[in-house]
Amino acid sequence: MTRAEAAGQGHVPNPADPRLFRDALGRFATGVTVVTTCEAGGAAPVGITVNSFASVSLDPALVLWSAARSSMRHRHFTAAQAFAIHVLGADQRDLAKRFTGTGAGFDGLEHHRNEAGVPLIDGVLARFECVTEATHEGGDHTIIIGRVTRFCLCETGEPLTFFAGQYGGFSRV
């Protein structure tokens, strides 16, 4: 901690140089998810790796995630009427990488579709099938709230985590 931080002054976010703010956000360990839907105006499956997943409400069952507006996949998710969020396990780092900017996506990946046509990936720690409840602009992201219509969970396994810009695991204490 710097002396300014110790004195309670801290740092002011600087949009011209967001690195320090991103580093501070990276100190919050998160889980890793893959969100899937179909391309806007088409049937091709599309997915994106995100760590901005959170629960919103138990009744009704609502979850949210944030889509970066700079992403080439943003328009598919903001136009989607339905999507699925897949919570990845510690051994699924390669699956997470498939759905990043240069990853292979669904090419060669086994999957199936639900009644709404949303591509689903099996073998994950949990999966939430959702219909879009609302979207909200939030700076450089769009916050997408989904109403959970169905979910499944795996009773065993450890989560894939993301901390300080790197994938990792979870150790129980």
pLDDT digits (tens, 9 = 90+) for 131-148: 999 999 999 999 999 999
Between CA 83 and CA 50 the distance in angstroms is: 13
At residue 5, does pLDDT exceed 60? no
**How many folded domains does the chain comprise?**
1
Between CA 173 and CA 167 the distance in angstroms is: 19
Rounded average pLDDT over 44-69: 97
Residue 45 forms part of a structural domain: yes
Residue 149 forms part of a structural domain: yes
> How far apart, in Å, do the first and last CA atoms of the chain sit?
26
Q: Are 167 and 88 a contacting pair, CB within 8 Å?
A: no
CA-wise closest residue to 84 among 43, 125, 121: 121
Residue 39 forms part of a structural domain: yes
Cα within 13 Å of Cα(59), Cβ side: 0
Average pLDDT, the chain: 93
Q: Are 152 and 106 a contacting pair, CB within 8 Å?
A: no
Phi, psi of 78 (to 5 degrees): -75, -20
User: Tokens for 74?
Assistant: 């943003």
Residue 173 forms part of a structural domain: no
Residue 15 forms part of a structural domain: no
At residue 172, does pLDDT exceed 90? no
Task: Say which CATH number the domain at 81 has.
Answer: 2.30.110.10
The share of the chain scoring above pLDDT 90, in percent, equals: 76
Question: pTM higher than 0.85 for the full model?
Answer: yes
Judged by phi (left if over 0) then psi (alpha if -120 to 50, else beta), residue 17 lies in beta
